[in-house]
C-alpha cells in the first residue's frame, strides 16, 4: 500500500511546525540584522568619503558604532520574540506572567539592574561623548586608547598592549581624564619627593634650571616634600615615556645637588 505523502507531510508539520517556524524567524532576524548592520557601515563610509575624504570623525564613528549595535540587538530580540510566539505553551506562560505583571517586572528589573544600568550608561556616553573611539583616556589606574564602545562595556588598550574592559555604568559615574579632547596634546606634570630635611627652595631652583619649566611645592609632610614639575606638551601616546624621562632627569639633578641620598 502506497503511503499518503500528503498526510505524512501534514503530520510532520503538525509535530514540528512550531520549531521550524521559530528557527526560520531567528535565522531571518539574524540575516536582517547582519544586512542592515553592513548597510549602515557602508553608508557611514560613503558619508565619510563625501564629507571628510574617507575618515570618520571620532564623534561620528562612536555614534555610528553604537547605533549599529543597538539596531542589531533590537532586530535579534524581535526575532526571538516572534520565535517564542510560535509555541502555545509560551503564550500561556506569557498570559500568566501578565496576570502577575507587577511581581514579574520587579523580579526581572532587580535581576537585570546591572545590565540595564550599563546599557543606559552606554546610551549616555554615545550621546554626550566624554570619550570617543580613538581617544587617549585615564580612568582609575588605567591609561590607554579607546578601542570600542559597546552597548554595555567600553574597551581600552593600554600602552602595555593590554585590553581593559570597563562597564559603562562605572565609566559614566567615575572621574575620567581625556587627553585627546581639545587640542589633542597633553602637558606633563610629574611628582618628585625630597626628604623633609632638604632645602626645598634650592630644590625648586635647581629643577627649574634643569628643565626650564615651572616647579612648585605641592605638599609637605613629616617624611618629605612633594614637588610638582611641569613639562612640555606632547601627544597622548608619548605621555608615559616622556613623563618617565622627565622624572628620571629631575631625580638625577637632585641627587647631583646633594638633595637626595646617593644611590648605593
Q: Quick one: fold of 186-256?
A: Alpha-Beta Plaits (3.30.70)
Confidence of residue 254 (pLDDT cuts 50, 70, 90): very high
Confidence of residue 244 (pLDDT cuts 50, 70, 90): confident
pLDDT of residue 45: 63
Asked whether the predicted pLDDT for residue 192 surpasses 60, the reply is yes
pLDDT of residue 264: 46
Buried/exposed code over 213-243 (b: 16+ C-beta within 10 A; e: otherwise): bebeeeeeeeebbebebbbeebebeebeebb
Domain regions of the chain by residue span: 5-111, 130-178, 186-256
pLDDT, mean over the chain: 77
**DSSP secondary structure string for all residues of 145-202:** EEEEE-SSEEEEEETTS-EEEEEHHHHHHS-EEESSSTTS-EEEEEEEEE-TTS-HHH
Does 186-256 match 130-178 at the fold level? no
Confidence of residue 1 (pLDDT cuts 50, 70, 90): very low
Highest mean pLDDT among 28-32, 39-43, 203-207: 203-207
pLDDT of residue 88: 62
The residue that leads in pLDDT, 63 or 262, is 63
| Rounded Cα–Cα distance for residues 155 and 145 (Å) | 9
Confidence of residue 260 (pLDDT cuts 50, 70, 90): confident
Q: Which CATH number fits domain 130-178: 3.40.50.970, 3.30.70.940, 2.30.30.60, 3.40.50.980?
A: 2.30.30.60
Amino acid at each position: 500500500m502506497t503511503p499518503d505523502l500528503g498526510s505524512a507531510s501534514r503530520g510532520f508539520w503538525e509535530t514540528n511546525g512550531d520549531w521550524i517556524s521559530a528557527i526560520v524567524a531567528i535565522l531571518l532576524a539574524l540575516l536582517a540584522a547582519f544586512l542592515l548592520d553592513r548597510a549602515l557601515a557602508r553608508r557611514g563610509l560613503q558619508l565619510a568619503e563625501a564629507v571628510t575624504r574617507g575618515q570618520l570623525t571620532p564623534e561620528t564613528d562612536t555614534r555610528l558604532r553604537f547605533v549599529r549595535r543597538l539596531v542589531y540587538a533590537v532586530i535579534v530580540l524581535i526575532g526571538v520574540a516572534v520565535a517564542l510566539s510560535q509555541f502555545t505553551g509560551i503564550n500561556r506562560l506569557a498570559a500568566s506572567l501578565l496576570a502577575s505583571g507587577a511581581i514579574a517586572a520587579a523580579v526581572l528589573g532587580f535581576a537585570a539592574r546591572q545590565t540595564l544600568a550599563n546599557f543606559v550608561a552606554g546610551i549616555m556616553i554615545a550621546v554626550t561623548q566624554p570619550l570617543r573611539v580613538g581617544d587617549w583616556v585615564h580612568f582609575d589606574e588605567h591609561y590607554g586608547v579607546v578601542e570600542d564602545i559597546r552597548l554595555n562595556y567600553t574597551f581600552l588598550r593600554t600602552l602595555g598592549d593590554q585590553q581593559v574592559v570597563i562597564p559603562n555604568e562605572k565609566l559614566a559615574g567615575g572621574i575620567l581624564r581625556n587627553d585627546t579632547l581639545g587640542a589633542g596634546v597633553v602637558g606633563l606634570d610629574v611628582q618628585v619627593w625630597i626628604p623633609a630635611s632638604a632645602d626645598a627652595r634650592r630644590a625648586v631652583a635647581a629643577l627649574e634650571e634643569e628643565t626650564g619649566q615651572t616647579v612648585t611645592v605641592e605638599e609637605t609632610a613629616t617624611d618629605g616634600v612633594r614637588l610638582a614639575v611641569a613639562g612640555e606638551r606632547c601627544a597622548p601616546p608619548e605621555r608615559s615615556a616622556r613623563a618617565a624621562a622627565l622624572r628620571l632627569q629631575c631625580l638625577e639633578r637632585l641627587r647631583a645637588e646633594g638633595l637626595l641620598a646617593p644611590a648605593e
